[in-house]
Amino acid sequence: MNTRWLPADGVHRSPLWLLVALLLLSCCLYLSGITRESLWRDEVDSIRFAAEIRRNLSESETAPAAIRELAAFLTRPGWNGPLYFWSLEPWLLLAGRSELALRLPSTLAGVVVVALAHTLATHLLGSLAGRLTALLAAVNPYLAWYAGEGKMYTLITAMALLSTYLLLKACASARKRLWLGYVLVTTLLFYTHILTPLLLPVQVALVLLLYRRAIRSVAAWVSAGLLTVPYLPLFLWQWPRLVQPAETGFPVVPLLSMGQRLGEVFSRGIVGWPAGLPLVLLLGSMTAGALLARKPVVVGLVCWVGAPLLALWLISSSRPLFTERYLIWTLPAWLLLAAAGLTGLARRGWGGQLAALAGTAGLVTVGLIGVGHQWGTPVRADFRSAAAFVSQHHQAGDLIVFQIPYLQATFDYYAPNLDYRPVEGPYTNRGESAADIDAYLHTAIGSRPRAWLVLSEAPMWDERGLTLDWFQTHGRPLDKATLNRVEVIHWQLDAGS
């Protein structure tokens, strides 16, 4: 085995108490804001999709029918991979469908990310870098945000770390159980999110850089074959959809802008103060890592940072898919490079140690500020309050127009027993005229004297505001609540409107 790239201080474990303290820190930070905001539409989708899997499987009368139902979920639009929803429903049956129950698995996965980042960094860069990586992960505001969201993003980050660690350990020791573990975890990862196969080129680069002899191993080739077989059905569905041009709802983003946006959210979180200082601290530490760490490891980590981003940019040139959370599983590479830089500085005399201490303190400080700013800044649409307001003022059988229609599921989550008639707000972004909207709403509302209008993310459906204009022309508001990213208005409609 080529050991020239191994860390100079070995791969000794950090003190257990220190790792436990960092895990407790991350857990406290993640839990501190877990139910502060109401669920947003993607989180409600998690509950809906999980229940749909259970319902469809329970209605399958034979085993082949159940298998066909499971296979159908592989290609369901908007799911991005079915495994998270398959595994979520048993948990929700046990824990209930509250906000806390939905988000808690993501919190636990976020804590696991901290532990696995420590383990992988220790393996690649040494014990000091392992401790620093765990510290940076524990206070990272972007990881903290998705540790409080009922989606698969912290889960795929943990699985990507575990998959990579198992691969490197298997290359080092050639133990068959490690190869089998790698195949199992990686297969599950691919079935959890559609873009995680972009990790494979990174792993190939790491093996070639660090364990080149492993490519002659029979176990490695057998594992590659075993990995191909379960992924093939998913690939046959994914590839045409990734390369065929299509409107996806995502904007086209230039490559440099994609990298800048990743750097901003990875350093400061999704909201907060200007990204300048956090980004400079993170990129400065990563640059030090690129200059001071051992080159095979550096090249591998740079591949982890850049290769998935480049691949997604190429895919997005015909089918825009870029959103920062889809590449959250590359965040550990950013943190490992930063930890490598801080470690390298710490080994260069008193001046380097002071620089490393200042850099670490700066990154931890901006991380904690970012976490605090996220928990103190409303971000998600407040459907919890919106549903409560409507429930307080509605009358049985009231009509509610949703603009956008997709938000009805989120509203129903918070008002499951409300007696009302839903109406889909009209889509107007294809050039429909005010007369078209007038005809649609006259038909949908009929002669009812009152109607509710729920507005959230309305420009996605009605960027010219034609629906609101119609209500303002044909009625007057009785009650109104303007909440974070959602507005609820109860209208008294003119007779004969």
Structural domain boundaries in the chain? 16-376, 383-493
pLDDT for res 1: 41
Give the residue among 367, 229, 210, 190 at the shortest CA–CA distance from 301.
210
Length of the chain: 497
- Which tokens hold the place of 11? 């791969």
Give the residue among 465, 468, 473, 469 at the shortest CA–CA distance from 493.
473
- Which tokens hold the place of 328? 């959250």
Query: CA of 491: how far to CAs of 76, 408, 448, in Å?
Result: 38, 18, 11
SS3 state at 207: helix
pLDDT for res 3: 44
Region of 240 on the Ramachandran plot (φ > 0 left; ψ -120 to 50 alpha; else beta): alpha
Rounded to an integer, what distance in angstroms lies between the CA atom of residue 3 and that of residue 489? Answer: 67
Give the residue among 101, 91, 97, 113 at the shortest CA–CA distance from 34.
101
Q: Contact, 316 vs 211, CB < 8 A?
A: no
DSSP assignment, residue 348? S
pLDDT for res 4: 47
Give the residue among 125, 119, 140, 113 at the shortest CA–CA distance from 363.
140
Rounded to an integer, what distance in angstroms lies between the CA atom of residue 482 and that of residue 229? Answer: 52
Q: Contact, 44 vs 150, CB < 8 A?
A: no
Q: H/E element holding 360?
A: helix 349-376
pLDDT for res 9: 52
pLDDT for res 68: 63
- Which tokens hold the place of 235? 């690939």
pLDDT for res 474: 92
pLDDT for res 250: 72
Count of other CB atoms within 10 angstroms of residue 64: 9
Q: Contact, 445 vs 457, CB < 8 A?
A: no
Q: Which residues contact 294 (CB under 8 A, 6 or more apart)?
A: 4, 5, 7
Q: What is the pTM of this model?
A: 0.91
Q: Given the structure tokens 């393996």, which residue do they identify?
A: 123
Give the residue among 297, 300, 207, 315 at the shortest CA–CA distance from 258.
315
Q: Contact, 41 vs 406, CB < 8 A?
A: yes
Q: Contact, 334 vs 266, CB < 8 A?
A: yes
Rounded to an integer, what distance in angstroms lies between the CA atom of residue 486 and that of residue 380? Answer: 9
Beta strands across the sheet bearing 475-483 = 420-424, 398-403, 450-455, 486-493, 475-483
The sign one gets for the Cα dihedral 18, 24, 30, 32 is negative
pLDDT for res 12: 54
- Which tokens hold the place of 70? 């499971």
Rounded to an integer, what distance in angstroms lies between the CA atom of residue 114 and that of residue 24? Answer: 10
- Walking along the chain (497 residues) 10 residues at a time, the average pLDDT comes out as 48 76 95 92 92 74 61 61 87 95 97 97 94 97 96 97 95 86 92 90 93 76 71 66 62 91 94 82 93 91 96 86 93 97 93 94 95 92 96 87 94 94 93 93 89 94 94 93 96 76
pLDDT for res 74: 58
- Which tokens hold the place of 246? 């299509």
Q: Contact, 29 vs 138, CB < 8 A?
A: yes
Rounded to an integer, what distance in angstroms lies between the CA atom of residue 5 and that of residue 298? Answer: 10
Q: H/E element holding 68?
A: helix 63-74
